[in-house]
Amino acid sequence: MKYRVQQFKKTQHGKIYHYSWIGYSYRTAKGTPTFKRVASLAGLPPEAVKAISNSLSSNGESSDTNLKVEFLSAIPLGAEAVAHHFADELGILDALACLPERDRKVVLALILDRVVEAFPHSRKSLFENLPGSGLSRVCGLDDEDIKLEQMYYALDHLFPCQDTIEHYLFKRNHPNQSRMFLYDITSSYFEGNACPLEAFGYNRDHKQGKKQIVIGMLTDQAGCPVSVEVFEGNTSDQSTVMDRIDSMRKKFGIEEMVFIGDRGMLTRARRNDLTAREYEKIKYITALSRDEFTRFVEDDDHPLQLSLFDRTRLVQVSHDGINYVLSYNPELEERNCADRDRMLEKTEAVLKGIEASVQKGRLRQEKLIAKRLFSKFDKWKCARFFDVDYGEGRFSYRRKDELIESYRAMDGFYVFTTDILDISAEQTRDEYRGLQQVEQTFRTMKTTDIFMRPIRLWNPERVKAHIFVCMLAYMIIWKARHKLAEFTEPQGDLRVSLQTAWSKLGELQIGKIKLGDEVHEQLSQPEAQCRQLLKLAGLSASAISKSFLRG
């Protein structure tokens, strides 16, 4: 693109004002010629404006031999400035004050890069692209001589401060001490084999042959992250619960809380742990596993019976100081039915194979028949649906059709459970469904915005600090989603992605012009969508100029 000076005029209060901008011409999608403003020349004397215009027209040499003019660059700043503003509102800038000054600036750069970049840089790539960037400007790194090693040393210093930072942010953003907390875990695969935290475990990423780490995320009721913890890759869901509750009480000084976790997290064993006297002020909301749900229905002494199941409304029953809420989901019914039919077919295929082997005389001894039967009979949890009879040289089976039909009556039903007795069925269901916000946090961190993978670190403290950086980045994204939620495309009312919003904000740039030996900076004029985003964020172009422009 070729930069040039364009003259503009406007009439205000009967007076005509002339002003000049550096920019370039381009055509819109409809082919209309348009001038893109990059840097304002307001405040410069006419002779300087003329010299700049002549210089740009003649590739840098002004017609005024006493004045050399050079247009240096245009640096995108809008997205970085808005993300920095959100970090300030959340208290992240103040919380990082516990770090040495240079480390604080580097950590902030690591965080903001994962917020505003469509594909965040690796630490090495960020080091190479940081000098002279808008990110360097807002983080105060323009005058710093940063080495690549500093990107890693900053993580070393961040990890010991994690508890302090989390405590500060919790007190800052939850002055009334939120009572509801959502907790879930995920896993993330690793590159390399040198980190002591990595291990083979339940693979949620479907990366065969990859070791992993396990990440536990705690959020408030609105889905804003409160704390994150990293565990070894073979850690089970439920084994993290009690430690997490204990650490919350110690770190944040919380005495009363409602802990919300999924059915794989708050198992029956963990719920029993919470009945201890030391946890009497800790309440929970979770859901029953399918096996536990079925066991209660089959128990004639338990109030959860098939006669209560209602597809049109929530049903709540109480038993031994526990509330149970029955909820129906037609999509879940289809999934339950399809899953059971698939498992029944797999189990029956095993039985048919044994039956065929016995009939052909390949399998005759009773103990060998039993060995083959019980090696796979209940692999898919369907043994209860078959009657099997076998002995020396004989084998037969049949489906228990009546039992299968009775289980079909439970398809589509989900049971929420809580030890809070003064809560409605609707609130119990809604609070549990809030776990979707934690799942959204993991999706954002892993696959859509922050891209915390691949993890190419081997030092455990650096791995944990990297995940903490990603959590802080998500806090800013969470804030941005709320503040910029009203942003819509001009052609309609469809909301655009947050990445589109960052891209629009990136149109706000610093234009740098060299007049002789002096460098002048001007902020480009924001377009309509950029102005709308700045207004939603609670910022203005003038405020950004005052904070981040020099001279």
404/431 same-domain check: no
Q: What confidence category does residue 181 fall into, taking pLDDT thresholds of 50, 70 and 90?
A: very high
pLDDT at residue 174 tops 80: yes
Same domain, yes or no, for 378 and 445?
A: no
Range of the domain at 241: 174-329+412-466
* Residue 487 confidence (pLDDT): 76
C-alpha to C-alpha distance for 11 and 13, rounded to whole angstroms: 7
CB 336 within 8 A of CB 382: no
Residue 318's identity, in one-letter code, is S
Q: What is the mean pLDDT of residues 198-213?
A: 81
Task: Tell me the H-state helices in 323-381.
Answer: 330-359, 366-376
Question: Based on the domain organization, do 200 and 276 belong to the same domain?
Answer: yes
**pLDDT value at residue 230:** 93
The contacts of residue 423 (CB under 8 Å, 6+ apart) are 323, 431
The letter for the amino acid at 426 is: E
Shared-domain flag, residues 246 and 299: yes
With CA atoms as reference, report the closest residue to 371 among 387, 348, 349, 395.
395
Average pLDDT over residues 96-102: 96
Q: Is there a single domain that holds both residue 325 and residue 381? A: no
- Give the residue-averaged pLDDT of 355-384: 93
Domain endpoint, select from 408, 424, 452: 408
**Last residue of a domain, which of 388, 408, 428?**
408
Give the per-residue pLDDT at 551: 62
* Residue that finishes a domain, picked among 45, 67, 89: 67
- Tell whether 461 is covered by a domain: yes
pLDDT tens digit string along 244-293? 899 888 888 888 899 999 988 899 999 999 999 999 999 999 999 988 98
What percentage of the chain carries pLDDT values higher than 70?
A: 95
Q: Does 56 lie in the same domain as 200? A: no
Q: Note the helical H segments in 458-520.
A: 460-483, 498-505
Question: Cα separations (Å) of 361 from 118, 211, 352, 356?
Answer: 65, 45, 14, 9
Which residue spans within 147-265 are E strands per DSSP? 180-189, 212-220, 225-232, 257-260
Alpha-carbon span 144 to 126, nearest angstrom: 14
Residues 252 and 381 occupy one common structural domain: no
Whether residue 58 is predicted with pLDDT greater than 90 in this model: the reply is: no
For every residue of 532-548, DSSP letters joined together read HHHHHHT--HHHHHHHH
Count the neighbouring beta carbons within 10 Å of the beta carbon of residue 177: 13
8 A C-beta contact, residue 525 and residue 510 = no
pLDDT beyond 60 at 66: no
- The pLDDT of residue 516 is above 80: no
Alpha carbon distance 136, 225 (integer Å): 26
Residue 187 within any structural domain of the chain: yes
> Distance between CA atoms of 51 and 38, rounded to whole angstroms?
18
Query: Average per-residue pLDDT in the chain?
Result: 88
Cβ contacts of 31 within 8 Å, gap of 6 or more: none
Q: Are residues 309 and 350 in the same domain?
A: no
Residue 268 and residue 394 in one domain: no
Chain segment 454-469, per-residue pLDDT in tens? 888 989 999 999 999 9
Task: Indicate whether 255 and 393 sit together in one domain.
Answer: no
More confident residue, 44 or 373: 373
Asked if residues 251 and 226 have their Cβ atoms less than 8 Å apart, the reply is: no
Q: Please check the confidence at residue 148 and state whether its pLDDT lies above 90.
A: yes
What's CA 103's distance to the chain center, in Å? 24
| Arithmetic mean of pLDDT, 418-422 | 92
* CA pair distance 259, 275, nearest whole angstrom: 13
Does the pLDDT of residue 43 top 70, yes or no? no
Q: Looking at the 3D structure of the chain, how many domains does it have?
A: 3
Residue 343 counted as domain residue = yes
* pLDDT score of 162: 97
Q: Would 395 be classed as within a structural domain?
A: yes
Q: Is the dihedral of CA 116, 120, 122, 125 positive or negative?
A: negative
What is the arithmetic mean of pLDDT over 305-317?
Answer: 86
- Answer yes or no: is 281 within a domain: yes
Residue 28 has a pLDDT of 82
pLDDT at 428: 94
Given a cut of 90, whether residue 351 has pLDDT beyond it is yes
Amino acid at 11: T
Q: Which pLDDT belongs to residue 65? A: 46
pLDDT of residue 153: 96
| 429 and 303 both lie in a single domain | yes
The CATH number for 308's domain is 3.90.350.10
Tokens describing residue 142: 């323009």
Band the pLDDT of 67: cuts 50, 70, 90: low
> Is 52 domain-assigned?
yes
Alpha carbons 534 and 506: distance in angstroms, whole number? 11
Integer CA distances (angstroms), 140 to 81, 84, 98, 130, in order: 12, 11, 17, 11
The answer, yes or no, to whether residue 105 has pLDDT greater than 90, is yes
Question: Is residue 454 domain-shared with residue 310, that is, in the same domain?
Answer: yes
pLDDT value at 82 more than 90: yes
Residue 219 lies in a domain: yes
Q: Is 428 among the domain residues?
A: yes
* pLDDT higher at 486 or 173: 173
